Amino acid sequence: MAKRLFVKTYGCQMNVYDSARMADVLAPLGYASADGPEDADMVILNTCHIREKAAEKVFSELGRLKKLQAAKAQAGGRMVLAVAGCVAQAEGEEILRRAPFVDIVLGPQTYHRLPEMVAQAARAGGAVLDTEFPAEPKFDFLPEARAEGSSAFLSVQEGCDKFCTFCVVPYTRGAEYSRPASAVLAEARALAAQGVREITLLGQNVNGWRSDDGWSLGRLLRALAEVEGLERLRYTTSHPRDMDDDLIAAHADLPQLMPFLHLPLQSGSDRILAAMNRGHDRDVYLRLAERLKTARPDLALSSDFITGFPGETDADFAETLDIVRRVGFVQTYSFKYSPRPGTPAALMPNQVPEKVKEERLAELQALLLAQTEDFNRACVGREMRVLLDRPGRHAGQLVGRSPYMQPVHVKAAAHLIGSVVNLRITALHPNSLEAVPT
Ligand code: SAH
Ligand code: SF4
Ligand code: F3S
């Protein structure tokens, strides 16, 4: 009998990719996807540990699932409950202590072993914990990726050796690892053959990707641009320290490479950047932004910021506002600093009061929102290539993404789903752009 799997994903795009691959791994065991946890025989929470709030969500979700699991058992059935991802990696034992009804706890580097874990959980009845960092990369054991729709993620790099003082990722994902170019190209070809038109390369430090024979990400992008059927390429998340000349040149040379780059800055203050161990100062970032825009004049930047890092003064924060005004960002994510157990910054003196963090975040977000709105407004009247990827809410309408990831809706025939079309933007809505064919 067909079994049903429900995966709930928290956190970053790497987790979105991992969730899809966990479903791929379990498909041969007869698991098809469920619409919700209610009709699932197995539920996986793929979790995020980046900020306290993210990690807390897992335990409240587990509380809800416990009831479903009990109801199912009472009706003579069974719901296997697994916790995967970065909270599992960081707090594996703690999860089993606080939530003993969980069957499987697995880290981000062991999900290729899921079939064994499921079998083991069925046999033993006790919980299975696997948060190892195995010597063998999981990628070597995964089945071919199944595409859903015309845009796909492709993980090329994992882990992080940068150790920014605020961040849990080096501990939850392990050391930097790059997949071989041949494996990346094979996966890209397989996705393109299934109708994928756009690939976003993923990695915690995606531009730190290196092949054994010395290729850097720019070279890989050039090879991907040759793959038949692929019309658009993106990559995320990049570190300013790893933006090399060849990668910048790729932005000038490859029309497939979208003119939109997520390049987190975190702070505009040299003092804070140093305390964060980011490995670059504000000048490096300003120069990078300039070089990227010279290479590709229509390029727009997106970024991440943290307010209230330990020791951040009003003067430091003013530097952040200043650099935001100078660079101009079209899309951003910004957060209050959240002390994470086991990271150096959590132990630093001069922790900033919550209220100050919040006030600074509100001021920064107002500025960033104004920049996003200005950019979106300036798009009205422009022509853009849009990848139409799904039906819209109204009949006869399709929705797609602009080069800048803005949702765009247009009246168009359904057979155009999966194509990149030329559109003229005619109006700005609160969460999308409206367009007509040109
Ligand atoms: N590798 C990426 C970021 C990954 S984490 C980079 O180097 O930029 C995603 C974002 O979460 C970070 O850019 C940062 O802005 C935010 N973040 C990470 N740890 C945080 C913390 N302890 N408190 C608040 N925000 C944090
Ligand atoms: Fe975290 Fe820094 Fe690594 Fe990004 S580069 S994942 S912020 S430690
Ligand atoms: Fe979160 Fe882990 Fe991604 S901590 S942001 S899910 S790498």
DSSP E strand boundaries for 195-330: 198-202, 232-236, 260-262, 300-307
Residue 138 beta carbon below 6 angstroms from any ligand 2 atom: no
Q: Which pLDDT score, from 0 to 100, does residue 145 have?
A: 86
Would residue 324 count as lying in a domain?
Answer: no
Q: Which atom belonging to ligand 1 lies closest to the Cα atom of 162?
A: 7
- Mean of the per-residue pLDDT values for the chain? 95
Domain tally for the chain? 2
What's the pLDDT score for residue 435? 97
Question: What's the rounded Cα separation, in Å, for the pair 229 and 156?
Answer: 20
Which pLDDT tens digit goes with each residue over 160-180?
Answer: 999 999 999 999 999 999 999
Q: How confident is the model at residue 144 (pLDDT cuts 50, 70, 90)?
A: confident
Instruction: Pull the structure tokens for residue 148.
Output: 């859903």
CA 223 – ligand 2 centroid, Å: 27
For residue 147, pLDDT over 90 is answered with no
The reply to whether ligand 2 has any atom less than 6 angstroms from the CB of 86 is no
Supply the residue whose CA is at minimum distance from atom 6 of ligand 3. Answer: 48
> Looking at residues 178-196, what average pLDDT do you find?
96
Identify the pLDDT of residue 390.
94
Among 50, 162, 209, which residue has the most ligand 2 atoms within 8 Å of its CB, making it the best to mutate? Answer: 162
C-beta 204 within 6 A of ligand 2? yes
Is the residue at 92 inside a domain? Answer: yes
392-397 long-range Cβ contacts below 8 angstroms, 24+ apart? none
- The answer on pLDDT for 300 being more than 70 is yes
Question: Which of these three, 82, 114, 130, is where a domain ends?
Answer: 130
Does the residue 254 lie in any domain?
Answer: no
pLDDT digits 0-9 by tens, 231-261: 999 999 999 999 999 999 999 999 999 999 9
- Is residue 91 included in any domain, yes or no? yes
pLDDT digits (tens, 9 = 90+) for 390-415: 999 999 999 999 999 999 999 999 99
pLDDT, residue 309, reads 98
Rg (CA), the chain: 22
In a domain, 97, yes or no: yes
For residue 349, being part of any structural domain is answered with no
- Rounded to an integer, the average pLDDT of 365-377 is 97
Whole-angstrom Cα distance, residue 135 to residue 356?
44
Asked if the bond preceding 237 is cis, omega within 30° of 0, the reply is: yes
Distance from residue 168's CA to the centre of ligand 3 (Å): 8
Distance CA 407, CA 392 (A): 10
* Surface-to-core class of residue 137, CB atoms within 10 Å of its CB (0-12 exposed, 13-18 middle, 19+ buried): middle
User: Domain containing 392 — which CATH number?
Assistant: 2.40.50.140
Predicted local distance difference test score (pLDDT) of residue 242: 96
CA 239, 243, 247 angle in degrees (round to 5)? 130
| Separation CA 173–CA 204 (nearest Å) | 9
Do the beta carbons of residue 339 and residue 368 sit within 8 Å? no
DSSP 8-state code for residue 266: B
Q: What is the pLDDT of residues 81-122, one digit of tens each?
A: 999 999 999 999 999 999 999 999 999 999 999 999 999 988
- Please report whether residue 211 resides in a domain: no
| Whole-number Å distance between alpha carbons of 21 and 27 | 10
Q: Taking 90 as the threshold, does the pLDDT of residue 134 lie above it? A: no
Residue 85 lies in a domain: yes
Calpha distance 104→432 (Å, rounded): 40
In 3D space, the residue among 248, 260, 265 whose CA is nearest the CA of residue 322 turns out to be 265
The last residue of one of the domains, among 110, 130, 150, is: 130
C-beta contacts of 407-416 below 8 A and 24+ residues apart: 407/431, 407/432, 407/433, 408/384, 408/432, 408/433, 408/434, 408/435, 409/433, 409/434, 409/435, 410/386, 410/434, 410/435, 410/436, 410/437, 411/436, 412/388, 412/437, 416/388
Q: What is the pLDDT of residue 379?
A: 97
Which residues contribute to the annotated binding site? 12, 48, 86, 160, 164, 167
Mean pLDDT (whole number) for 324-332 = 97
Phi-psi label, residue 426: left if phi above 0, alpha if psi -120 to 50, beta otherwise: alpha
What CATH number has the domain bearing residue 22?
3.40.50.12160
Structure confidence at residue 1 (pLDDT): 66
Q: How far away, in angstroms, is 241 Cα from ligand 1 center? A: 15
Q: Return d(Cα 139, Cα 114) in angstroms, integer.
A: 13
Q: Which residue has the higher pLDDT, 431 or 312?
A: 312
The string of pLDDT tens digits covering residues 42-90 is 999 999 999 998 888 999 999 999 999 999 999 998 999 999 999 999 9
Q: Which helix (H) or strand (E) holds 376?
A: helix 354-379
d(CA 111, ligand 2 centre) in Å: 22
Domain boundary among 113, 130, 147: 130
Q: Does residue 338 line the site of ligand 1, with CB under 6 A?
A: yes
The percentage of residues in the chain with a pLDDT greater than 90, rounded to a whole number, is 91
| 121 or 368, which is more confident | 368
Give the domain range for residue 401. Answer: 383-437
Please check the confidence at residue 360 and state whether its pLDDT lies above 80: yes
Q: What is the pLDDT of residue 226?
A: 98
Whether 126 shows a pLDDT value over 80: the answer reads: no
Residue 312 · residue 269 · CB < 8 Å: yes
Q: Report whether pLDDT(297) > 70.
A: yes
Coil, helix or strand for 198?
Answer: strand
Question: Which tokens in the block code for residue 79?
Answer: 């719901």
pTM score, two decimals? Answer: 0.95
Token digits for 136?
């063998």
The string over 384-407, giving b where at least 16 C-beta atoms fall within 10 Å of a residue's C-beta and e elsewhere, is bebbbbeebeeeeebbbbbbbebb
Q: Rounded distance, CA 19 to CA 44, Å?
A: 9
Angle at which helices 85-98 and 52-74 cross, to 10°: 60
